[in-house]
Structure 1
Amino acid sequence: MRTAEIRRRYLDFFAERGHTVVPSAPLPTPDPTLLFVNAGMVPFKPYLTGEAQAPWARATSVQKCVRTLDIEEVGRTTRHGSFFQMNGNFSFGDYFKQEAIAFAWELSTTPVAEGGYGLDPDRIWVTVHYTDDESRALWRRIAGLPDDRIVARGDEDNFWSMGVPGPCGPCSELYYDRGPAFGPEGGPAVDEDRYTEFWNLVFMQYERGEGTGKSGYPVLGELPRRNIDTGMGLERMATLLQGVDNLYETDETRPILDRAAQLAQVTYGAEATADVRLRVVADHVRTGLMLLADGTTPGNEGRGYVLRRILRRAVRAMRQLGCAEPVLVDLLAAARDCMAPSYPEVAETYERIADQAAGEEEAFRATLHQGTAVLDTAVAKTRAAGGRLPGAQAFLLHDTYGFPIDLTLEMAAEQGVEVDRDGFTALMREQRERARADARARKSGGTTDTTALRAVLDQHGLTDWRAWDTLTTDSRVLALLGPSGPVPVAREGEIVSVVLDRTPFYAESGGQAADAGLLSGTSVEAEVLDVQWPLPGLVVHKVRVTAGDLTAGDAVHAAVDPEWRLGARQAHSGTHVLHAALRQVLGPTALQSGSYNRPGHLRLDFPWRGALSSATRGEIEEAANQALRRDLPVDVRWMTLPEAKELGALALFDETYGDKVRVVEIGGEWSRELCGGTHVQHASQIGVLALTSESSVGSGMRRLEGAVGLEGVGYLARERDLAARVAEQLQAPRAELPDRVAGLLDRLKAADRENQRLRQQATIAQAAALAARAEDTGTALVVSTTAADGPEGARALAGAIRDALPSDRPGVVAVGAESGDKALVVTAVNKAARAAGHDAAVLVRRLLNGKGGGSPELAQGGGLPAEELPQTLNSVRPIIMLGQ
């Protein structure tokens, strides 16, 4: 049974039993504690924890997931994969253990011809928590399982919690016996390769308190509403139903592996090391495809770095297999054909995916060249000094050059050098924690006490949010929160987070900046600095009290700055217009992957290889302003997500959508996007859209920035005035400015070339004179001097002197140069000196107490106090006389 069919049967089974089919959320998640969805329940987390009311009593989904914590194990074992799919059915206070157990048993054992999976009931084992007698009894009654196939296990295996205070409960897991060829008898407690877990039923019935580990916390009591969260591993079930050994041999992975083997001209199963690399390629290419399809783009931090690392590991594994040619586009095409039956969007957007992947692979090839040179230098210094390559150096290679740590480890090991892996890991952890802390603080409106936020939500319910309808509301202050939690009062000058019962303020989301405005009461006034959604349904305002005292319970008038909102509406609608114009000019692959807009200004990121020409930028700008001139209507409609997709509405990749979605149209199908932002009513209200810049923001990713409304007019006016001043200075009509400027540049380049020629002649003449006065130590001719024109002049002069010395005599040169209060030294030796055992790199380190490096023929070092330069140069001759 193909994986797509397993998926379809699962959703159909639960839909027929009253479950709402919820589409998979995108892999990027708005949860600041996660980069990607890593479990099937993540999109349902607010409903399971009680942070928000679920829109359905029952739901089912097949959720895409990515986990990379154990990425080093991918390929080394056949049980680890970075991308996987989790089939789930969920109950939010509706059914509980009896129905969940009955559903799992029925679907697993119903014959294939009748719509089930047809697993042999006599080969299914289950585990239960050792205290869960209720589940044990249900398995006996519903499934007829004997006691010896119902295994009791402890907290480590069969009790679930999220690791923080909140819901928890026992689990019951289903295992399938694959037979004696896969391991010994005795059930899952003996061998989990033979007895493969394929379904986990979580019974959320208790509330846990503070504590650590799997059992180091108190269970406080029963939940008021019990929930069901189940997960059936789609790849696990495909392995069982397709009769293959592991997930790499299923229909969604094996074709990628086979294509990699074909390109590398190796045979899978013939050699263990090659097999590991082929599995790495198969897994990472599939993961990369799904991340790219969901809008993640390669980068140096966060989600982008995870994707970059995955793609580069795949490329490197292919290079290790002997395939040095570009391979990603070819391999991704194989992955596309595997995944398109379940996810048609990977085929629909493949042109964009392939283009981004090709750009990343091309960049990595350059990275290998640059990073290898940096690593080789660092390794050479480490070998000379002894010890391990510092973790900071490995982190630099990762952070600056995109060098994966495993590549650094392997290449260093090949040269006999260990790497301080712990130091690298610590720096990586610090970077991640800083990023997550910033994200959490930003999202929570300035307070770090999420428990306090949840308490406000539990006590008062959802915020009455009216940003789409009005600019003012009469509101009541429900809570004041400082960085560490609730505060009783906020006095003049203090900054606090405020929760209101209702608000007209737009909270930052969908790329639109938060509103600005005021809260005012009978004796208090506060400036609204920021507005966020820290929890679903809860709006938090970051305010500065400008007069009086603000206290919980105060009645206030909340008013959005109307000029700010007008500018924000112009910018957000302008972003939609620019996106549509971009796709009109460049084609459908130029799909927005990120945006930000605030009053008067916008930016839009999109995948594209290479800079846009000025003519193309002009064409995009003209298409956008034509839409404004036609005064296209702006309409907002609500519909279901399937209806929106059928209509062709574009969705942002990092948003999670509910039962109904908001579709914003500008000119009907010309621009149709899912959006929760504020907009103008007609395109002409945007005023003008002026592109101000176009730049690169990473491999295969471009950024357009623009100004709209009065800011757009101001930008064009400044450009006009600048052109007028240049025309006046050059005494030329504006139409002739490009030719006049080009002529000036040509003359400047010619003058630079002439100056360079004269400097070279002067350097050669100076070098000849210095070479003629070289000191003869008996073993070598030595020249030490200073250069007047800085570091560049020192390098040029050292090389010129070396070339001017007699080629049949060993020649050693040292040239110093000052740069501020520091100095550097450049050393050079000729071929005869190298043959006599002299080394420029060794010499510069002798002169600078171990600092500096380079090649045996030319080296340099810096950091020397300027006043010590003469003494350092005077020491060259004694060093050479003593044999260096």
Structure 2
Amino acid sequence: MQTAEIHRRWLDFFEKRGHTVVPSASLVSDDPSLMFTVAGMVPFVPYLSGLVPAPYPRATSVQKCIRTNDIEEVGKTPRHGTFFQMCGNFSFGDYFKSDAIKFAWELLTTSEEDGGLGFAAKDLWVTIYEEDDEALALWQQHSTLPDERIQRLGKDTNYWSTGQPGPAGPCSEIFFDLGPEYGIDGGPATDDDRYVEIWNLVFMQYQVADVKSKTDFTILGELPKKNIDTGMGLERVAFIKQGVQNMYEIDQVRPVLDRAAALAGKVYGADHADDVRLRVIADHVRSGLMLIADGVTPSNEGRGYILRRLLRRVILSMRLLGFEGSSFAELFPVSRDAMKGAYPAVERDFEFIARAAYAEEKTFLRTLASGIQILETAVDTAKTGAVAVPGDTAFLLHDTHGFPIELTLEIAEEAGVAVDRAVFGELMQEQRDRAKADAKAKKGQRADLSVYKELRGLGETLFTGYDELTHESRVLGLVVDGVSVVEAREGEIAEVVLAETSLWAESGGQDSDQGLIVGDGFEAEVLDVQKPVPGLVVHTVKVTIGAIGIDQRAETRVDADYRRGATQAHSGTHIVHAALREVLGSNAHQAGSYNKAGYLRLDFTHSEALSSETKSEIEEISNLAIRSDFEVVTREMGIDEAKALGAMALFGEKYGDRVRVVDIGGPWSRELCAGTHVSSSSEVGIISLISESSVGSTNRRVESLVGIEAFRNFAAERAIVQQLTSGLKVPRTELVGRVQDLGAQLKAAEKKIAAFEAAKLAQRVPELIADAESIGATRVVLASLGSVASPDDLRGLALQVRDRLASEAGVVVIAGEAGGKPVVIAATTEAARTAGVRAGDLAKLGAKVLGGGGGGKPDLAQGGGTDPGKIDEALAEIRRSLAG
């Protein structure tokens, strides 16, 4: 049974039983505490927790998920994958345990001919929470399982909670028995790989508090509305139904594995280590495909870093298989074809996906080449006397260049040298500890959204600001320091929830409005407006007069000047986007934006820097559109109708069934957008591009000033030009040439000064040779030269002195201060290196004293630091090392 067929049968089964079919949410989670959608229930958390009223009593979905916490286990076990699909059925206060168990047993054991999944009852086991007698009785009622195949387990495996105060409850898990050839008898209680968990039924029935750990908490009582959250692993069921050994061999994954094996000249199943690498490749390519399809692009932080890590592990695994060229152009189309049946977007957007993936591969292959050079240098050094490749070098390769330790070990082993695993392990642990501390700190900073649960239950906040800047409403709720209160007094910072508001909450790239909330006897300055949960607008205010109380009438007043600037910037963003596409082509898609009064920032898909001429052309087209006074029209319609009109949906963004379409000049700019806008393009005023930069291998960013801020910027630049023309006594038309001439004169003067300084230093060579001391059989020059123009001067002098000592074992270490920072240069003759003295070690030793780092080749190396006052101490430490 194909994976897509299991997917279809799941949704069909539950739709027929009254469940609303909910499309998969994006892999990019709306939950601010999560980087990705890590489980099928994540999109439903607001409903399951009661934070937001559920729009339907029961639902079902097949949700895309990404987890990378067990990334090192991928390929090693039958069921660890970074991308997976979770089939779920959910009840929000509707049905409970009985129906959840009945539905699960019915779908699993109904024959394939009758629309079920066709599992034999003899192959299934069930676990329940040890104290859940109700679940036991229901399994006995609805299934044909003998009692010995319903096992009671403890809280650590069969009790679900978020780890925070809130809903919790027992769960029941369903396992498939692969058979005696796969492991020991005894059922899931043995925790043996023979028993594969395929479905988990969570019964949310209790409210818990005082949560100390997964198993230590206080049950306050039963929830007023009991919920059901279940999850069946689609890949796990697929590999069982398809009769293959693991999830990497199912129809949606195996084609990539086979293509990778063909490229590398390997046979899957012939070698365990190669098999693991092939599985990693197949899994990570699919994950990369799906992440990019949901708008994630490679970067050095956040979600982009996770994607980058996945893609680089593919490249490294291909290299370990013996394939050193580019492979993504072969692998990604195969994954696209395997996944497009279930997710058509991967085919529709493949041009963008491919461009992002291929650019990352090209970049990393260059990085890999430089890392190989570092490793080969370390290996050569190890061969000449060191015991092993240093652990800090292995860590540098891992942390900076993306080398897994396995690659470093393999290359070192081929060269016949070891790697200092102990030091590498210590550095890795230090990094993990820092990451944990950072994650803990961030977790502590997250708001407890439970305070908004009751407020959201009062209804959705209505935004009236499209048509008016002031609106009279009513205070529904007040929050101070995370706690609901009945009154906020003068001087306090409070969060205010109103029934309606004319103040825009930050969203869609548009910053929140500024303004006031006023009422009988009080006034509050609006500091921020946000939507902490869907549908609820929260105003953060400082109470400046009187006190705000629950149920009081309150008028929202938008700062008209700020809103005008914000609408100018938001409409300006649409105009710049249209101009970019006109100049660069339809492949230039918006990939993120931010706008506020007087400023806009637009990220877009493009891999090359824009020339000055291109930037000028984009700026001119934008301002011509403003001069053309295009009408700006906003309409609300269904999402399908909007797309049929050609309205652009921003890549990776999520939209509901009803959307707002903004036209500027009709089809010239037509986008889905909920923000506030001007009524005609001339109201934008002026657009002045002030910068263009890279924000990733496939994304660029333009920034622009808008309206009065653009005018002020032009005025400031005009003033600078006037000052320069006056000071240099040249007309404006000759200013650029005059400045260039002055620059050339300055450069020539600096060159003469540098030559003079170098000659002056060279005169010290005889003096330094004369002052050389003998340490054993080695002539050693140790000198501090004070302030120098640049480290190059010290390097040149060290090489001259070394050349004069070339006929003997000689070591030269010269230090000085360049640009306020200490620098140490070490150089060795061939005879000194033969005796075991390496310049890199000396530079590193000196730099450590100076409060920095250093290194280099055995014959020449450089170190630096932060404390010039310790130069003499650094030279003394190097002398002690040489004497030792």
Same fold (TM over 0.5): yes
Q: For residues 665 and 588 of structure 1, what CA distance do their matches in structure 2 show?
A: 17
| Aligned residue number for residue 419 of structure 2 | 415
What residue in structure 2 maps to residue 450 of structure 1? 449
Deviation larger for 307-316 or 207-216:
207-216
Give the structure 2 partner of residue 118 of structure 1. Answer: 118
Q: Secondary structure at the match of 2:590?
A: coil
- Matches of 1:864 and 1:400 in 2, distance apart? 22
Tell me what 1:443 maps to. none
Matched ranges for 1:146-295 at <5 A:
146-190=146-190, 193-295=193-295
Unaligned runs of 5+ in 1: 441-447
Deviation at residue 287 of structure 1 after TM alignment: 0.8
Mapped contact 1:239–1:249 kept (Cα < 8 A): yes
| Cα distance per residue 1:236-270 (max 9 Å; x no partner) | 12112221111000011111111221222222211
- Secondary structure at the aligned position of 1:107 is classed as helix
Cα drift, residue 63 of structure 1: 0.9
**Secondary structure of the residue that 1:603 maps to in structure 2?**
strand
Would the alpha carbon gap of residues 245 and 521 (structure 1) be closer, same or farther in structure 2, given more than 3 Å must change? same
> How much identity, in percent, do the aligned residues show?
50
Alignment map for 1:141-540 (pairs within 5 Å): 141-190=141-190, 193-368=193-368, 414-418=418-422, 419-420=425-426, 421-436=428-443, 440=446, 448-458=447-457, 460-486=458-484, 490-540=488-538
Q: Structure 2 vs 1, CA of residues 493 and 388 (structure 1 numbering), >3 Å: closer, same or farther?
A: farther
Deviation at 1:129, TM superposition (A): 3.9
Q: Point out the more displaced range, 217-226 or 67-76.
A: 217-226
Q: Which residue of 2 aligns with 1:789?
A: 788
Cα contact 1:816–1:826 (8 A) shared by 2: yes
**Aligned partner letter, 2:559:** D
In the aligned structure 2, how far is the partner of 1:295 from the partner of 1:352?
10
Q: Is 286-295 or 791-800 further displaced after alignment?
A: 791-800
CA distance in 2, matches of 1:865, 1:577: 52
Q: Are the counterparts in 2 of residues 798 and 814 from structure 1 also a CA contact under 8 Å?
A: no
Residue by residue, what CA displacement relative to the aligned partner does 1:296-323 show, whole Å, maximum 9, x if unpaired? 1222222122112111222222222222
Equivalent pair of 2:598/2:706 in contact (CA under 8 Å):
yes
Alpha-carbon distance in 1 for matches of 2:87, 2:876 = 76
Distance in 2 between residues matched to 1:474 and 1:599, nearest whole Å? 25
Residue type at the aligned position of 1:571 = A
Distance 2:835 2:238 in 1: 69
Q: Give deviations 1:677-707, integer Å, cap 9, x for gaps.
A: 2222333332332222111123332111112
Amino acid at match of 2:858: P
State the one-letter code of the partner of 1:422. Q
Question: Could you report, residue by residue, the CA deviation over 1:522-562 in whole angstroms, capped at 9, with x for unpaired residues?
Answer: 43322111111122332222222333444555543221111
Structure 2 Cα separation of the partners of residues 187 and 643 of structure 1 = 53
Contact 2:107/2:116 (<8 A) preserved: yes
Distance in 2, matches of 1:187 and 1:868, equals: 67
**Distance of 1:540 and 1:519 partners within structure 2:** 12
Choose from 549, 554, 557 the match for 1:556.
Answer: 554
Residue 33 of structure 1 aligns with which residue?
Answer: 33
Q: Does 1:714 align with 2:712?
A: yes
Q: Partners in 2 of 1:91 and 1:872 — Cα distance?
A: 70
Change (3 A) 1:769 1:536: same
The alignment partner of 1:164 has SS state of: coil
Q: Secondary structure at the match of 2:620?
A: helix
Distance 1:596 1:723 in 2: 31
1:805, distance to aligned residue in structure 2 (A):
0.8
- Larger deviation: 86-95 or 370-379? 370-379
Tell me by how many angstroms 1:723 deviates. 5.3
Distance 2:866 2:636 in 1: 69
Please show how residues 751-770 of structure 1 align to structure 2 within 5 Å.
Answer: 760=758, 763-764=761-762, 766=763, 769-770=766-767
Alignment CA distance shift 1:842-1:220 (3 Å): closer
Question: For 1:875 and 1:105, how far apart are their aligned partners in 2?
Answer: 74
Report the count of equivalent residues: 869
Separation (CA, whole Å) in 2 of partners of 1:408 and 1:529: 52
Distance 1:540 1:249 in 2: 49
Determine if contact 1:767/1:797 at 8 Å carries over to the other structure.
Answer: no
**Letter matched to residue 584 of structure 2:** L
1:620–1:375 Cα change, 3 Å? same
Partner of 1:802: 801
Q: Secondary structure at the match of 1:593?
A: strand
In the other structure, the counterpart of 2:860 is 858
Cα separation, partners in 2 of 1:780 and 1:581, compared to 1, 3 Å: same
Q: 1:164 to 1:810 in 2, by over 3 A?
A: closer
3-state DSSP class of the match of 2:228? Answer: strand
CA distance in 2, matches of 1:453, 1:622: 47
Q: Which whole-Å CA distance do the structure 2 matches of 1:299 and 1:162 have between them?
A: 30
Residue of structure 2 equivalent to 1:815: 814
2-structure distance, mates of 1:405, 1:838? 28
Cα–Cα, structure 1 residues 457 and 394, in superposed 2: closer, same or farther, change >3 Å?
Answer: farther
The letter for the 2-side match of 1:789 is: V
- What residue number does 1:7 align with? 7
Query: Aligned partners of 1:28 and 1:118: how far apart in 2?
Result: 34
Structure 1, 69-78 or 678-687: larger mean CA deviation:
678-687
Tell me the TM-score normalised to structure 1 length.
Answer: 0.87
Contact 2:51 2:454 in 1 (8 A): no
Q: Which letter does structure 2 place at the counterpart of 1:568?
A: A
- Three-state SS of the structure 2 residue aligned to 1:699 is coil
CA shift for structure 1 position 647: 4.9
Paired position in structure 1 for 2:582: 584
For structure 2, the residue ranges without an aligned partner over 5 or more in a row are none
Q: Tell me: CA distance 1:212–1:810, structure 2 relative to 1, closer, same or farther (3 Å).
A: closer
Q: Secondary structure at the match of 2:269?
A: coil
Instruction: Determine the C-alpha separation between the residues in 2 that align with 1:564 and 1:597.
Output: 12
Q: 1:456 to 1:709 in 2, by over 3 A?
A: same
Q: Choose 768-777 or 203-212, whichever is displaced more.
A: 768-777
Contact kept, 8 Å, 1:55 with 1:659, in 2: the verdict is no
How far apart, CA to CA, are the structure 1 residues paired with 2:430 and 2:112?
54
Q: Which amino acid aligns with 1:856?
A: P
Corresponding residue for 1:63? Answer: 63
Q: How far off its partner does 1:122 sit?
A: 4.6
Q: CA RMSD in A?
A: 3.9
Supply the AA of the counterpart residue of 2:585.
Answer: G
Most deviating of 839-848 and 27-36 = 839-848
- Checking the alignment, whether the CA contact within 8 Å between 2:293 and 2:652 is kept in structure 1 is no
Distance of aligned partners of 1:55 and 1:791 in 2 relative to their CA distance in 1, 3 Å threshold: same
CA contact (8 A) 2:391 2:420 kept: no
Q: Tell me how far apart the structure 2 counterparts of residues 837 and 747 of structure 1 sit (CA, whole Å).
A: 48
- SS of equivalent to 1:201: strand
Shift of 1:869: 5.5
CA contact (8 A) 1:786 1:794 kept: no
1:566 paired residue number: 564
**Structure 1 residues 388 and 543: alpha-carbon distance in aligned structure 2, compared to 1, 3 A threshold:** farther
8 A Cα contact 1:255 1:338, kept in partner: yes
Could you tell which deviates more after superposition, 680-689 or 60-69? Answer: 680-689
1:826 has 2:825 as partner? yes
The answer as to whether partners of 1:582 and 1:590 remain within 8 angstroms in 2 is yes
Distance 1:680 1:12, change over 3 A: farther
The CA deviation at 1:452 is 3.0
> What is the deviation of 1:798?
2.9
Distance change in 2, residues 1:484/1:201 (3 Å): closer
Partner residue of 2:622? 624
Shift of 1:28: 0.9
Q: Deviations over 1:172-222 (max 9, x none)?
A: 333334444434555444566444332333333333333244443343333
